[in-house]
Structure 1
Amino acid sequence: MRGSDFAELKAFAAIVDHRSFARAASHLGMSSSALSQTIRLLESRLGARLLNRTTRSVAPTAVGQKLYERLVPVMLELESAVSEAVDATGRVAGLLRINAPGYAATMLIGPRLGHFHRAYPDVVLEVVSDDSLSDIVAGRFDAGIRAGERLEKDVVAVRLTPDMEMMAVASPDYLSTRGIPKKPADLHAHACINWRYPGSGAVYRWEFEKDGKAFEMSVDGPLTSNMQEVVLDGALQGLGILYTFNDHRIVRSIEEGRLQRVLVDWSPTFPGLFLYYSNRRSPTPALRAFIDCLLDRDSVTAPEE
């Protein structure tokens, strides 16, 4: 295989991964026009169209999908070989790709970026915000972060947070106007803020539990979104009752008096956040260092100034 062949195939795989020429070009460090030319050359050489392109989206053709599926394990094996070569030097270096929901990236990774970079300046960290539960192996990520109940069985998982408590919250102004629900059935007389799963598009059914009995229900209201910041803003601005887990923004808003909890006795807990990676791949030194950083282990110590 010529070097140009590998570059063309890598470019094709990046486009399928990102579903966008612009995002793939940014990931590869090249211009969109240069990436388009690379794909044209590949398609011309193979004599087959690999991608269907519109002004708003890009997706593999049937031929392209088959090629992509054959390429993924080869790419993974090549990346593993490179990682092993880096490991042999004893250096903590190279590209580390992490896939995480937006709230997890903000809550866990963001506050530790400086610490990790000072300790391991030769690691290039790429954090992709993804709420759609993408396949980290197909996407060639080193690891992902996910809530415990959504982990696949064939992964190695490291707990990052305690179990998470669900919280029904609303602004004091909303509750003073509409009243405080005493039981979940009362929610049918209230405005509720809904969460839509980014991957499936399904709307979350609110889950409650009391005295060992669990059930779920659908609610209605003026706002539905798949963005955590949007639904939180809606609750803070008095649009209705929000049901979400106890992340730091919710807890801080309650402490500041901007939100008030309701239905406390009915709120269950769920497994917390875990970092996970394929059990078919050994973690690289960079990933092991990253895990230590997220867990605030003493092994992550920035060099003295």
Structure 2
Amino acid sequence: MRGSEFAELQSFMAIVEHGSFVRAAESLNVTASALSQSMKTLETRMRVQLLHRTTRRVHLTEAGGHLAARLQPALDEVSAAVADTSQLATRPRGRIKVHAMRLGSRLYLEPHLPAFLEAFPDIRVDITLDDASLDVVQQGYDVSIRLGEMLDQDFVGLPLGPRIRQIAAASPAYLKNLGYPEVPADLGKHRCITWRWPGQLGSYQWEFFKDGQWQKVSLDGVLSFNDQRVALEAAVRGAGVAFWAEDQIQPYVDRGELVPLLTEWSAPFEGFYLCFPKQHQHSVVMRAFIDFLKQRVPASFD
């Protein structure tokens, strides 16, 4: 159907609603003569008379009544569809797929999910927790929460939190028996608890900083996990030395369960970012998600 034909049908229904060419023309913001000509064109094209015209009133013919009965539900549905679509600007509707590193999710996503779902009940959030570095777009994700060092070149990256410092730590009982490492190289003589990135066979290399240079220490752990939290819990039980983010270790330090080690060799690096392809930021659902996190974690986005 061409646009002009649809307009003619809308004009016909306006006449049916108002029962007058004059009042229908006013509602459509056209002249009565233009509306009359539009109806003549419609009747000519349909090859049937739709309206009986008198000086005071317009009446439907049998064909006109049949057309009006069939058109009304269809036009109501069209109006509803337009209204629903327009409402997306104020009430976003849809689905967002999030890929998040476990620690980033725990710190910056999970605490805010209940409030987000309450604010946007028509948005469905699909979250994958995975510490692997992957191609977000190729895997079908809309947004990712990852470390700054893992940002893709063509992505928008919004900082979620402060810089991170990783430190080594062990339990007081372990250190009493085996002593304190004084330099990173001493860790080779200790029972170290390592962890692996997803998809990697080797253990994560512990990194230390001194005199303007980063040093990587490769260790064969007596225990190796694919989850940092489990590795830390093992250290609390005296199994050996663990290595993780300082803010995650601090509660154990406060309780006297762990002792920080080699802190003078530890330096901060870029923390977690909310990152996404540039073109995704124009999505109504994405804008709702991004703006919500900006409100919940405002200091991070300054």
- 1:261-300 equivalences under 5 Å are 261-297=260-296
Partners of 2:132 and 2:197 within 8 A in 1: yes
2:96 and 2:153 map into 1 onto residues whose CA distance is: 23
Pick closer, same or farther for the CA change 1:91–1:260 going to 2, 3 Å: same
2:198 and 2:236 map into 1 onto residues whose CA distance is: 22
Residue deviations 1:69-97 (CA, integer Å, cap 9, x gap): xxxxxxxxxxxxxxxx6785432221111
Structure 1, unmatched stretches of 5+, are 1-84, 300-305
Structure 2 length-normalised TM: 0.66
Q: Tell me the percent identity.
A: 36
Provide the residue aligned with 1:256 in structure 2. Answer: 255
Pick closer, same or farther for the CA change 1:121–1:217 going to 2, 3 Å: same
Q: State the one-letter code of the partner of 1:169.
A: A
Residue deviations 1:100-121 (CA, integer Å, cap 9, x gap): 0122222221111111112112
Provide the residue aligned with 2:135 in structure 1. Answer: 135
Superposed CA RMSD: 2.1
Residue deviations 1:8-43 (CA, integer Å, cap 9, x gap): xxxxxxxxxxxxxxxxxxxxxxxxxxxxxxxxxxxx
1:229 and 1:86 map into 2 onto residues whose CA distance is: 46
Aligned-partner SS, 2:113: helix
Structure 2, unmatched stretches of 5+, are 1-84
Q: State the one-letter code of the partner of 1:291.
A: I
Q: Which structure has the greater CA radius of gyration?
A: 2
- 1:184-263 equivalences under 5 Å are 184-247=184-247, 249-263=248-262
- 1:100-119 equivalences under 5 Å are 100-119=100-119
Structure 1 length-normalised TM: 0.65
Provide the residue aligned with 2:28 in structure 1. Answer: none
1:152 and 1:183 map into 2 onto residues whose CA distance is: 34
1:298 and 1:197 map into 2 onto residues whose CA distance is: 28
Pick closer, same or farther for the CA change 1:87–1:232 going to 2, 3 Å: farther
Aligned-partner SS, 2:128: strand
2:183 and 2:297 map into 1 onto residues whose CA distance is: 46
2:90 and 2:294 map into 1 onto residues whose CA distance is: 22
How far is the alpha carbon of 1:98 from its aligned partner?
A: 0.5
Q: How many pairs align?
A: 214
Pick closer, same or farther for the CA change 1:134–1:90 going to 2, 3 Å: same
